[in-house]
Amino acid sequence: MASIGDIASRSSGGELLARARARAALLPDLLVEAQRIANIITQGLHGRKRRGIGEEFWQYRPYSEGETVARIDWRRSARDEHVYVRDLEWQAAHTVWLWADPSASMLYQSRQATISKESRALVIVLALAEILSRSGERIAYPQVFAPTSSRQGAERLAASLFSTEALAPSPDLNSISRHSECVYVSDFLDPVDEIIEKLEPMAGRAVRMHLVEVTDPAEENFPYSGRTEFVDPESGSKLTAGRADTLAAEYRQLYVARREELNRFAKSRGWSYTTTKTDGLASSALVQLFGALSAGSQL
C-alpha cells in the first residue's frame, strides 16, 4: 500500500514567486494598522484617519485653555469670534515581519493535498510581502532580510530566501523590533506549551503576532488504519499503533484542542490566528490575514 503522506522537495524561488504574485493580485493595497506608534518615518506614511502628528489637515476645533498658543490657526479664527486650533491627521508607517517555518515537518504533503505545507507557507509570506511592499510598508524577515521599504519587496525577499542556506527551524524572535507586526506561518505541531513559551515574550514587546497555521488534510483527518508505524520527519522517532483507526477520533480531538488552545492564546493577546489547509486555496487565508493586519485601523 502506498503511503498517504510524503516528504516533498523544497520549493524553488521562481515558481513560488509567480504563485504569490497571483495571490497578491487578488488583494487590494494593504493599509496596515499601526497602533501606539508615534515615531514618524519618511516613507510609507499613511493617514490614520484620526488626529495626531502628521502633515495633512484633519480638522479645526475650538481652542481650549492650556494649549500652546502657537497651535492656534489665526486665519480660521479670524472668520468668526472663536479661536480655532488646526488638527493634523496622524500618519505613521509600520514594519511587518514575515516568517515561514522551514522545518522538516513543513515539507509534508499527503495525497489529498495539492502542495506541501512549506510551499503554502512561502506563498503566503511572499504574497504578503508583495502586498505590503506595494502599499509602502516596510517588510522584514528574521535572519534573512532586515526591515526594508521597497517596491520590489517580494522579489528581493524571494531572492534572499532562496539564496540563504539552512534557515534556523525557529526564528530569532529577539530581532523583531518593538511595536511591529509579525506574520508567523507554521504548522504549530510542537507542544502548545513550548509554542506559547516561545511567543509569550512578544506580547511584552508589543509585537502584534499573526499566527498562520498551515495544515495538511491528512494531519487533520487522520485517514490511517491498521497496524501503522508513524515516523516523525523531524526527530525520526517512531511509534507503532496496532490499529490506527481506533485512534482517529481521539486524535482529532487532541489535534483540534491544540488549535483551539493556540487560538485562545492568540486572542487573549490581541493577536490573530488563521488556518489554511493545503488542499484549499491560499487566497482565503490571505484575505483573513489582510483583515487582521488592517483590523486596527477601524479602531
Letters for 199-218 (x = contact with other proteins by CB under 8 A, - = none) are -----------------x--
Question: Which candidate, 107, 103, 110, places its Cα nearest to that of 118?
Answer: 107
Q: Does 260 bind other proteins (CB under 8 A)?
A: no
Residue 165 binds to other proteins (criterion: CB under 8 A) = no
Pick from 62, 66, 204, 242 the residue near other proteins by CB under 8 A.
242
Of residues 280, 270, 282, the one with CA closest to residue 204: 270
Residue 125: phi, psi to the nearest 5? -65, -45
DSSP-assigned letters across all residues of 211-252: EEEEE-HHHHH----SSEEEE-TTT--EEEESSGGGGHHHHH
Can you tell me the distance from the alpha carbon of 120 to that of 276, in angstroms, rounded to the nearest whole number?
A: 8
- Which one, 93 or 106, has the nearer CB to other proteins? 106
Using CB under 8 A as the binding rule, whether residue 258 contacts other proteins is answered as yes
Computed over its alpha carbons, how large is the radius of gyration of the chain? 23
Range in contact with other proteins (rule: CB under 8 A) among 83-91, 134-142, 168-176, 224-232: 224-232
Q: How many residues does this entry show for the chain?
A: 299
Q: Which of 68, 163, 237, 268 contacts other proteins by CB under 8 A?
A: 237
Options 45, 241, 287, 295; binder of other proteins; rule CB under 8 A: 241
CB 152 within 8 A of CB 48: no
- The nearest distance, CB 95 to other proteins, in angstroms, is 31
* By the rule CB under 8 A, 247 interacts with other proteins: yes
> Which of 130, 187 has the CB closer to other proteins?
187
265 makes contact with other proteins (CB under 8 A):
no
**From CA 98, how far away is CA 232, in angstroms rounded?**
26
Q: What is the contact surface with other proteins in residues (CB under 8 A)?
A: 1, 3-7, 105-106, 108, 187, 189-191, 216, 219, 224, 226-235, 237, 239-242, 246-247, 250-251, 254-255, 258
